[in-house]
Amino acid sequence: MLSPERLSLPGPEYLAQRHVLTYMEDAVSQLLENREDISQYGIARFFTEYFNSVRQGTHILFREFSFVQATPHNRASFLRTFWRCFRTVGKNGDLLTAQEYHCLLQLLCPDFPMELTQKAARIVLMDDAMDCLMSFSDFLFAFQIQFYYSEFLESVAAIYQDLLAGKNPNTVIVPTSSSGQHRQRQPPNDCNPLEGVEASLFYQCLESLCDRSKYSCPPSALVKEMLSSVQRMTFYGFLMALAKDQGINRALGALPDKGDLFLDPAMDQEIEKLVAQVSGLSVSGPASSSADTANMPARNSPRINSPWKPLHHRRKMDAESEGSNEETDSSEN
Protein backbone atom coordinates (compact mmCIF):
# COMPACT_ATOMS: atom_id res chain seq x y z
CA MET A 1 0.00 0.00 0.00
CA LEU A 2 1.36 3.42 -0.95
CA SER A 3 1.80 5.87 1.91
CA PRO A 4 -0.04 9.22 1.77
CA GLU A 5 3.38 10.87 1.77
CA ARG A 6 4.22 9.13 -1.52
CA LEU A 7 1.13 10.61 -3.18
CA SER A 8 1.67 14.11 -1.79
CA LEU A 9 5.23 14.58 -3.10
CA PRO A 10 6.46 14.94 -6.69
CA GLY A 11 8.13 11.78 -7.97
CA PRO A 12 11.74 13.08 -8.11
CA GLU A 13 11.45 14.62 -4.64
CA TYR A 14 10.09 11.39 -3.15
CA LEU A 15 12.85 9.33 -4.80
CA ALA A 16 15.50 11.69 -3.45
CA GLN A 17 13.97 11.69 0.04
CA ARG A 18 13.94 7.89 0.15
CA HIS A 19 17.39 7.58 -1.47
CA VAL A 20 16.02 5.23 -4.11
CA LEU A 21 18.76 6.17 -6.58
CA THR A 22 21.41 5.22 -4.01
CA TYR A 23 20.00 1.70 -3.85
CA MET A 24 19.53 1.44 -7.61
CA GLU A 25 23.17 2.42 -8.19
CA ASP A 26 24.35 -0.08 -5.58
CA ALA A 27 22.14 -2.84 -7.03
CA VAL A 28 23.50 -2.26 -10.54
CA SER A 29 27.05 -2.25 -9.18
CA GLN A 30 26.41 -5.57 -7.40
CA LEU A 31 24.81 -6.93 -10.56
CA LEU A 32 27.85 -6.11 -12.70
CA GLU A 33 30.27 -7.43 -10.10
CA ASN A 34 28.47 -10.79 -9.84
CA ARG A 35 27.00 -11.06 -13.35
CA GLU A 36 28.37 -14.56 -13.94
CA ASP A 37 26.59 -16.01 -10.91
CA ILE A 38 23.47 -13.93 -11.41
CA SER A 39 23.07 -15.12 -14.99
CA GLN A 40 22.28 -18.58 -13.62
CA TYR A 41 19.04 -17.50 -11.93
CA GLY A 42 18.11 -14.25 -13.67
CA ILE A 43 18.25 -10.51 -13.16
CA ALA A 44 14.65 -10.26 -11.97
CA ARG A 45 15.33 -12.61 -9.06
CA PHE A 46 18.47 -10.67 -8.17
CA PHE A 47 16.63 -7.36 -7.94
CA THR A 48 13.84 -9.01 -5.96
CA GLU A 49 16.25 -10.39 -3.40
CA TYR A 50 18.29 -7.20 -3.28
CA PHE A 51 15.35 -4.96 -2.46
CA ASN A 52 13.91 -7.55 -0.07
CA SER A 53 17.21 -7.36 1.83
CA VAL A 54 16.96 -3.54 1.82
CA ARG A 55 13.45 -3.75 3.23
CA GLN A 56 14.52 -6.26 5.89
CA GLY A 57 17.64 -4.26 6.79
CA THR A 58 20.12 -7.07 6.09
CA HIS A 59 21.65 -5.33 3.07
CA ILE A 60 24.28 -3.55 5.22
CA LEU A 61 25.92 -6.74 6.51
CA PHE A 62 29.67 -6.85 5.85
CA ARG A 63 29.47 -3.80 3.60
CA GLU A 64 31.94 -0.91 3.47
CA PHE A 65 31.37 1.99 5.85
CA SER A 66 30.66 4.47 3.05
CA PHE A 67 27.58 2.40 2.17
CA VAL A 68 26.54 1.64 5.76
CA GLN A 69 26.28 5.34 6.58
CA ALA A 70 24.99 6.47 3.17
CA THR A 71 21.27 6.73 4.09
CA PRO A 72 19.19 7.04 7.29
CA HIS A 73 17.66 3.63 6.56
CA ASN A 74 21.13 2.08 6.30
CA ARG A 75 22.16 3.60 9.61
CA ALA A 76 19.00 2.43 11.36
CA SER A 77 19.46 -1.04 9.86
CA PHE A 78 23.05 -1.19 11.11
CA LEU A 79 22.02 -0.14 14.61
CA ARG A 80 19.29 -2.77 14.70
CA THR A 81 21.65 -5.46 13.41
CA PHE A 82 24.34 -4.57 15.94
CA TRP A 83 21.79 -4.79 18.75
CA ARG A 84 20.37 -8.11 17.57
CA CYS A 85 23.79 -9.71 17.07
CA PHE A 86 25.38 -8.65 20.35
CA ARG A 87 22.54 -8.10 22.81
CA THR A 88 23.73 -11.19 24.71
CA VAL A 89 26.73 -9.10 25.79
CA GLY A 90 24.38 -6.97 27.85
CA LYS A 91 22.15 -9.88 28.77
CA ASN A 92 25.13 -11.60 30.37
CA GLY A 93 26.12 -8.40 32.19
CA ASP A 94 29.50 -8.12 30.46
CA LEU A 95 31.32 -4.77 30.53
CA LEU A 96 33.59 -3.90 27.61
CA THR A 97 36.00 -1.14 26.65
CA ALA A 98 35.60 1.14 23.64
CA GLN A 99 38.21 -0.92 21.77
CA GLU A 100 36.27 -4.12 22.40
CA TYR A 101 33.00 -2.57 21.23
CA HIS A 102 34.83 -1.37 18.15
CA CYS A 103 35.93 -4.94 17.42
CA LEU A 104 32.28 -6.00 17.53
CA LEU A 105 31.35 -3.21 15.12
CA GLN A 106 34.07 -4.33 12.75
CA LEU A 107 32.61 -7.82 12.65
CA LEU A 108 29.66 -6.27 10.81
CA CYS A 109 31.54 -3.49 8.98
CA PRO A 110 35.28 -4.24 8.63
CA ASP A 111 36.33 -0.62 7.97
CA PHE A 112 34.14 1.01 10.63
CA PRO A 113 36.12 4.05 11.87
CA MET A 114 37.46 3.99 15.40
CA GLU A 115 36.78 7.71 15.73
CA LEU A 116 33.02 7.20 15.82
CA THR A 117 33.38 4.52 18.49
CA GLN A 118 35.52 6.85 20.59
CA LYS A 119 33.01 9.68 20.26
CA ALA A 120 30.22 7.38 21.40
CA ALA A 121 32.34 6.25 24.36
CA ARG A 122 32.97 9.86 25.39
CA ILE A 123 29.22 10.42 25.65
CA VAL A 124 29.15 7.68 28.31
CA LEU A 125 32.47 8.39 30.00
CA MET A 126 32.48 12.20 29.68
CA ASP A 127 36.27 12.16 29.34
CA ASP A 128 39.10 10.58 27.39
CA ALA A 129 39.44 7.44 29.52
CA MET A 130 38.93 5.09 26.60
CA ASP A 131 40.05 2.08 28.62
CA CYS A 132 37.11 2.30 31.06
CA LEU A 133 34.44 -0.38 30.99
CA MET A 134 30.91 0.32 29.74
CA SER A 135 27.68 -1.62 29.85
CA PHE A 136 26.14 -2.68 26.56
CA SER A 137 23.01 -0.56 27.03
CA ASP A 138 24.98 2.60 27.88
CA PHE A 139 27.23 2.20 24.87
CA LEU A 140 24.43 1.19 22.50
CA PHE A 141 22.20 4.21 23.13
CA ALA A 142 25.16 6.60 23.04
CA PHE A 143 26.39 4.98 19.84
CA GLN A 144 22.92 5.29 18.32
CA ILE A 145 22.92 9.07 18.82
CA GLN A 146 26.49 9.50 17.63
CA PHE A 147 26.14 7.31 14.55
CA TYR A 148 22.66 8.23 13.34
CA TYR A 149 22.93 11.98 14.02
CA SER A 150 26.63 12.31 13.22
CA GLU A 151 26.42 15.40 10.98
CA PHE A 152 23.95 17.09 13.33
CA LEU A 153 26.28 16.60 16.30
CA GLU A 154 29.21 18.06 14.39
CA SER A 155 27.22 21.25 13.89
CA VAL A 156 26.01 21.21 17.49
CA ALA A 157 29.62 21.08 18.69
CA ALA A 158 30.47 24.10 16.54
CA ILE A 159 27.41 26.02 17.79
CA TYR A 160 28.29 25.21 21.39
CA GLN A 161 31.86 26.45 20.97
CA ASP A 162 30.64 29.66 19.36
CA LEU A 163 28.18 30.29 22.21
CA LEU A 164 30.93 29.74 24.76
CA ALA A 165 33.12 32.25 22.90
CA GLY A 166 30.29 34.76 22.55
CA LYS A 167 30.23 34.47 18.76
CA ASN A 168 27.22 34.51 16.46
CA PRO A 169 26.30 30.84 15.93
CA ASN A 170 24.43 31.69 12.73
CA THR A 171 27.79 31.61 10.97
CA VAL A 172 28.11 27.87 11.57
CA ILE A 173 28.41 25.87 8.36
CA VAL A 174 26.22 22.80 8.20
CA PRO A 175 28.10 19.69 6.97
CA THR A 176 27.35 19.03 3.31
CA SER A 177 29.26 15.80 2.71
CA SER A 178 28.45 12.25 3.77
CA SER A 179 31.58 10.72 2.30
CA GLY A 180 32.42 9.04 5.60
CA GLN A 181 35.30 11.41 6.39
CA HIS A 182 34.42 12.58 9.89
CA ARG A 183 36.23 15.61 11.24
CA GLN A 184 38.02 15.35 14.57
CA ARG A 185 35.76 17.02 17.12
CA GLN A 186 37.50 18.92 19.87
CA PRO A 187 35.66 17.98 23.09
CA PRO A 188 34.29 21.13 24.77
CA ASN A 189 35.40 21.75 28.32
CA ASP A 190 32.62 20.33 30.48
CA CYS A 191 34.69 19.67 33.58
CA ASN A 192 32.93 22.30 35.70
CA PRO A 193 29.21 21.47 36.08
CA LEU A 194 28.47 25.21 36.49
CA GLU A 195 29.80 25.87 33.02
CA GLY A 196 27.81 25.54 29.84
CA VAL A 197 25.57 27.77 27.78
CA GLU A 198 22.14 29.24 28.33
CA ALA A 199 19.66 26.48 27.47
CA SER A 200 17.04 28.73 25.84
CA LEU A 201 19.59 30.35 23.52
CA PHE A 202 21.09 26.96 22.79
CA TYR A 203 17.69 25.65 21.72
CA GLN A 204 17.05 28.64 19.45
CA CYS A 205 20.28 27.88 17.62
CA LEU A 206 19.47 24.16 17.39
CA GLU A 207 15.98 24.88 16.09
CA SER A 208 17.47 27.02 13.34
CA LEU A 209 19.98 24.27 12.60
CA CYS A 210 17.26 21.63 12.23
CA ASP A 211 15.28 23.89 9.90
CA ARG A 212 18.15 24.30 7.45
CA SER A 213 19.96 20.97 7.85
CA LYS A 214 19.80 18.39 5.07
CA TYR A 215 20.64 15.61 7.48
CA SER A 216 18.75 13.74 10.16
CA CYS A 217 18.02 15.72 13.33
CA PRO A 218 16.22 14.78 16.56
CA PRO A 219 12.59 15.99 16.74
CA SER A 220 12.64 19.69 17.68
CA ALA A 221 9.76 19.28 20.12
CA LEU A 222 11.68 16.68 22.13
CA VAL A 223 14.84 18.78 22.12
CA LYS A 224 12.83 21.79 23.31
CA GLU A 225 11.28 19.74 26.12
CA MET A 226 14.73 18.53 27.14
CA LEU A 227 16.32 21.99 27.24
CA SER A 228 13.34 23.77 28.80
CA SER A 229 13.83 21.86 32.06
CA VAL A 230 17.28 23.37 32.75
CA GLN A 231 18.81 26.83 32.75
CA ARG A 232 22.21 25.91 31.42
CA MET A 233 23.48 22.93 29.45
CA THR A 234 26.93 21.55 28.73
CA PHE A 235 27.79 19.85 25.46
CA TYR A 236 28.25 16.35 26.83
CA GLY A 237 25.31 16.84 29.13
CA PHE A 238 23.23 17.48 26.01
CA LEU A 239 24.59 14.38 24.28
CA MET A 240 23.90 12.22 27.32
CA ALA A 241 20.36 13.60 27.54
CA LEU A 242 19.81 12.72 23.88
CA ALA A 243 21.11 9.19 24.47
CA LYS A 244 18.84 8.63 27.48
CA ASP A 245 15.68 10.13 25.99
CA GLN A 246 13.31 7.28 25.13
CA GLY A 247 11.15 9.60 23.06
CA ILE A 248 14.04 10.25 20.70
CA ASN A 249 14.78 6.53 20.66
CA ARG A 250 11.20 5.76 19.63
CA ALA A 251 11.23 8.49 17.00
CA LEU A 252 14.37 7.01 15.47
CA GLY A 253 12.78 3.56 15.51
CA ALA A 254 15.88 1.37 15.31
CA LEU A 255 16.10 0.06 18.88
CA PRO A 256 13.51 -1.09 21.44
CA ASP A 257 12.93 0.71 24.72
CA LYS A 258 15.63 0.16 27.30
CA GLY A 259 13.38 -2.15 29.31
CA ASP A 260 12.98 -4.44 26.28
CA LEU A 261 16.59 -4.23 25.10
CA PHE A 262 17.40 -7.86 25.76
CA LEU A 263 14.15 -9.27 24.35
CA ASP A 264 14.12 -10.46 20.75
CA PRO A 265 11.87 -13.52 20.31
CA ALA A 266 12.37 -13.68 16.54
CA MET A 267 16.15 -13.81 16.89
CA ASP A 268 15.90 -16.33 19.72
CA GLN A 269 13.92 -18.63 17.42
CA GLU A 270 16.51 -18.29 14.66
CA ILE A 271 19.30 -19.09 17.12
CA GLU A 272 17.43 -22.14 18.38
CA LYS A 273 17.03 -23.37 14.80
CA LEU A 274 20.74 -22.91 14.08
CA VAL A 275 21.72 -24.64 17.33
CA ALA A 276 19.46 -27.56 16.45
CA GLN A 277 21.02 -27.80 12.99
CA VAL A 278 24.54 -27.71 14.38
CA SER A 279 23.64 -30.31 17.02
CA GLY A 280 22.31 -32.58 14.29
CA LEU A 281 25.57 -32.31 12.37
CA SER A 282 27.82 -32.90 15.38
CA VAL A 283 29.52 -36.27 15.75
CA SER A 284 29.04 -37.75 19.22
CA GLY A 285 31.29 -40.43 20.68
CA PRO A 286 32.44 -41.89 24.02
CA ALA A 287 34.78 -39.79 26.10
CA SER A 288 37.44 -42.50 25.95
CA SER A 289 37.78 -42.08 22.22
CA SER A 290 38.72 -38.39 22.47
CA ALA A 291 42.38 -39.16 21.86
CA ASP A 292 41.56 -41.16 18.74
CA THR A 293 39.27 -38.41 17.57
CA ALA A 294 42.08 -35.89 17.89
CA ASN A 295 44.19 -38.00 15.52
CA MET A 296 41.50 -38.27 12.90
CA PRO A 297 42.07 -36.28 9.71
CA ALA A 298 40.39 -32.87 9.57
CA ARG A 299 36.99 -32.83 7.92
CA ASN A 300 35.17 -29.75 6.71
CA SER A 301 31.68 -29.38 8.18
CA PRO A 302 28.85 -28.51 5.85
CA ARG A 303 28.37 -24.74 5.79
CA ILE A 304 25.02 -23.48 7.05
CA ASN A 305 24.14 -20.30 5.22
CA SER A 306 22.99 -17.47 7.47
CA PRO A 307 19.41 -16.39 6.80
CA TRP A 308 20.72 -12.80 6.90
CA LYS A 309 23.16 -13.20 4.04
CA PRO A 310 21.84 -11.37 0.95
CA LEU A 311 22.01 -13.37 -2.26
CA HIS A 312 24.20 -10.84 -3.98
CA HIS A 313 26.88 -11.21 -1.26
CA ARG A 314 27.08 -15.00 -1.12
CA ARG A 315 29.89 -15.47 -3.58
CA LYS A 316 32.01 -12.82 -1.89
CA MET A 317 31.37 -13.98 1.65
CA ASP A 318 31.83 -17.68 0.86
CA ALA A 319 35.22 -16.92 -0.64
CA GLU A 320 36.22 -14.92 2.42
CA SER A 321 34.99 -17.55 4.86
CA GLU A 322 37.12 -20.25 3.22
CA GLY A 323 40.23 -18.31 4.18
CA SER A 324 39.07 -17.30 7.67
CA ASN A 325 37.82 -20.59 9.19
CA GLU A 326 41.05 -21.28 11.00
CA GLU A 327 41.25 -17.80 12.50
CA THR A 328 37.62 -17.83 13.61
CA ASP A 329 37.94 -21.26 15.22
CA SER A 330 41.01 -20.19 17.17
CA SER A 331 39.34 -16.99 18.38
CA GLU A 332 36.32 -18.88 19.65
CA ASN A 333 38.54 -21.16 21.65
Read off the pLDDT of residues 291-328 as tens digits, 9 standing for 90 and up. Answer: 444 444 444 433 333 333 444 444 444 444 445 444 44
- 85 CA to centre of own chain: 11
Residue 282 pLDDT greater than 70, yes or no: no
- Summarize the confidence of residues 207-224 as an average pLDDT: 93
Give the per-residue pLDDT at 310.
47
Give the per-residue pLDDT at 179.
40
Read off the pLDDT band of 117 (50, 70, 90): very high
Please enumerate in sequence order all residues whose Cβ is within 8 A of that of 54, keeping only pairs 6 or more positions apart, or say none: 23, 73
Amino acid (1-letter code) at residue 89: V
Read off the pLDDT band of 273 (50, 70, 90): confident
Give the per-residue pLDDT at 126.
79
What span, in angstroms and rounded, lies between the C-alpha atoms of 131 and 97?
Answer: 6
Predicted model pTM: 0.75
User: DSSP letters along 124-181, please?
Assistant: HHSSS-TTS-EEHHHHHHHHHHHHHTHHHHHHHHHHHHHHHTT--GGGPPPP---SS-
Read off the pLDDT band of 183 (50, 70, 90): very low
Residue 79 pLDDT greater than 60, yes or no: yes
**pLDDT > 70 fraction of the chain, expressed in percent and rounded:** 74
- Higher-confidence position of 110 and 319: 110
Maximum CA pair distance of the chain?
78
What span, in angstroms and rounded, lies between the C-alpha atoms of 63 and 55?
Answer: 16
Residue 60 pLDDT greater than 60, yes or no: yes
- Higher-confidence position of 148 and 4: 148
